Amino acid sequence: MLRKEIDLDWIRKYPGDLKNAKKQTYGMCIEAVRRNGLYFMDIRLGEVNLSYEELNNICVEAVKENCLMLSVIDKVVKFYRHCKNTSEICIEVIKEAPEIFKEMPFDEINLTQKEMKAIYLEYLKKTECDLSIVENQAIMYLEIVKLNGRFLKYIKNQTEGICLEAVKNYGPALKYVRWNKLSNNRNEKLYECSSNRVKYFHAKLNKIKNKFSSKENEGICLEAVRQNALAIKYVNKQTEPICVEALKQNKHAIMFIKDKKKCLKEFNIRYLEKQGDAREVIAIKENDKWLFTIACQRNITKEEFIYRIYNTNGGFDLKLRINVHRQIYLDFLKQFE
């Protein structure tokens, strides 16, 4: 219910009440997002009379407080022509808070290479770095992914070195590696070096084709899972070293490992596959105690798991046919008695 008494003074004390204000003003909106960027989603943009500068200021403040709001704002600005585009908002944010650059979720928004370069250039200016590296694309890309691996998404001329640095910074950047391009680049370099030695060239080329038959470089994948074990989700050829490394970092990575049987015993993990309405369950033994993960319920005890089976969302009763799929969970839990 909208309340008339909510004004700027009220928002200064209770910024979360912005959504309940009968009349929202620029002052109330910017005060709220400065406290919590998520409150941007409570602004009724169709009702608030905001100028070009006011809307831009609110967007910048929201991203400064919570850089994850960038993807939300990216969608909003497409519908408001009197607002700067997303790349311009990024530049304004970096001017005021350059340290945020390293956390910005650039992979969730649509930027061109030109926009990406402009954003990076602004960051270099603010941090007083050597601007000459912008002229050398290879060096620029290497430096940019060291700071924010998500930028790999926008780099067309990828090298193994650039990809390695990207996944070291942000493991899930593995999904942006252009494996075909990496293979082709190696073939081209080899051709340049070996054009006068045809037999040698063909022998080396065959080795490269075999090495890249999976279109993946194990070294890049290993670095990715070291940074974020769940990046194994993007590894098509999951070798034993990659799986072991991922599970060393985070045993919950088992959910994305294709051949789970090899790893379960070694890492003290039990796994229940999804069956109809019954969700997948991961059981991990830590300090001689089994902990269970199902959906968003993470690391709950066996007692908590059983309680939720019988008491949440209608409970469970086999005779009355209430949530009968939960019998699968109880059968799975018998091995922990």
Q: Give φ, ψ of 331 to 5 degrees.
A: -65, -40
DSSP tag of 233: G
Q: Among residues 126, 119, 64, which one has the least CA distance to residue 95?
A: 126
**Residue 68, token pair as written in the block:** 């994850």
pLDDT, tens only, 94-137:
999 998 888 888 888 888 888 888 898 888 888 876 666 666 77
What is the rounded CA–CA span in Å between residue 87 and residue 223?
30
pLDDT, tens only, 239-254:
999 999 999 999 999 9
pLDDT for the residue 213 = 39
pLDDT, tens only, 168-196:
999 999 999 988 877 565 545 444 444 44
According to DSSP, the residues that pair with 281 across neighbouring strands are: 272
What is the rounded CA–CA span in Å between residue 252 and residue 41?
32
pLDDT for the residue 1 = 58
Considering the chain, what is the average pLDDT of its residues? 85
Sequence-ordered alpha helix ranges (H) in 83-211: 86-96, 113-126, 137-147, 160-169, 179-194, 198-211
pLDDT for the residue 164 = 93
Q: 3-class SS at 154?
A: helix
| pTM of the entire predicted model | 0.63
102: exposed, middle or buried (Cβ count in 10 Å: 0-12, 13-18, 19+): middle
pLDDT, tens only, 259-317:
998 899 899 999 999 999 999 999 999 888 999 999 888 899 999 999 999 998 888 98
